[in-house]
Amino acid sequence: MDVMSSNHHTHPGPLTVGVLALQGDFREHREVLETMGHHVREIRKPEQLAEIDALIIPGGESTTIARLILSNGFQQPLREFCATGKPVWGTCAGAILLAKDVDNLDRPGIEVMDITVHRNAFGRQVDSFEADLDVRGIEDGPFRAVFIRAPLIREVRAPAEAICRLEDGTIVAAREGNLLATSFHPELTGDHRLHALFLTLGRTRAEATP
């Protein structure tokens, strides 16, 4: 069991959470995490990954972030971070970058989750939308989800599992051990329940594979 997991077991005290700050809405994630009482590091260099207990890859433009991941030598360090069992969450562009398979992205991302993601799946900006969704593991009512030129998760392969769908069955969130991917942006709505769930993922993994 790693240090962070035992930390979770004893008390869910303040963690140091990294937000990949190459491009996108990293400040919004930062503000949510700070409101929850956690410490936040904006990550712009691979060596900064050593300082953090969990990582969020924010929304943004996936082509831009994919290029900056490569040009800044982040691809292998991010893969290694995902393999540590610490919680890693990709929102929107971040979800695209975590997927092993992506339609319509001209650069490799981090490629660690067993999901297939379709970029810009709902159309152009005028088709961006909000909806109330049920997310497995989230209690006390539906989650208000904001979708912005959003991707959908076309396929989820074990051990990854779908945890949220639209009314028509489209998968918009999935998890796989310590990894979480959402098509939408919980950092924009003031609802912290998914951020709280995310920070428990490492523990769940540690229990599953002691």
Partner 1 sequence: MAEKGTWAVKVGLAQMLKGGVIMDVVTPEHAKIAEEAGACAVMALERVPSDIRKDGGVARMSDPEMIRGIIDAVTIPVMAKARIGHFVEADILEALGVDYVDESEVLTPADEAHHIDKHLFKVPFVCGCRNLGEALRRIGEGAAMIRTKGEAGTGDIVEAVRHMRTVQDEIRRLQTLSDDEIYAAAKDLQAPLELVKQVKREGRLPVVNFAAGGVATPADAALMMRLGADGVFVGSGIFKSENPALVAKAIVEATTHYMDNEVLARVSTGLGKAMPGISVSSLPEKELLAGRGW
If one asks whether residue 188 binds partner 1 (CB under 8 A), the answer comes out as yes
Marked catalytic residue, from 118, 164, 187, 195: 187
Write out the H or E segment, with its range, that includes residue 77. Answer: helix 75-83
The answer to the question of residue 119 lying near partner 1 (CB under 8 A) is: yes
**Residue 146 touching partner 1 (CB under 8 A):** yes
The catalytic residue among 8, 92, 164, 176 is 92
For residue 193, give the nearest of 144, 151, 150 by alpha carbon. Answer: 144
Based on the shown chain and the rule CB under 8 A, indicate whether residue 35 belongs to the binding site for partner 1.
no
Cβ–Cβ under 8 Å, residues 92 and 184: yes
The one among 34, 51, 80, 127 contacting partner 1 by CB under 8 A: 127
What's the half-sphere exposure (Cβ side, CA atoms, 13 Å) at 33? 24
164 is catalytic: no
DSSP 162-205: EEEE-TT--EEEEEETTEEEESS-GGGSS--HHHHHHTTHHHHH
Stretch that binds partner 1, among 81-89, 118-126, 156-164, 171-179 (CB under 8 A): 118-126
Is 59 or 90 the residue whose CB approaches partner 1 more closely?
59
Active-site residues, by number, are: 92, 185, 187
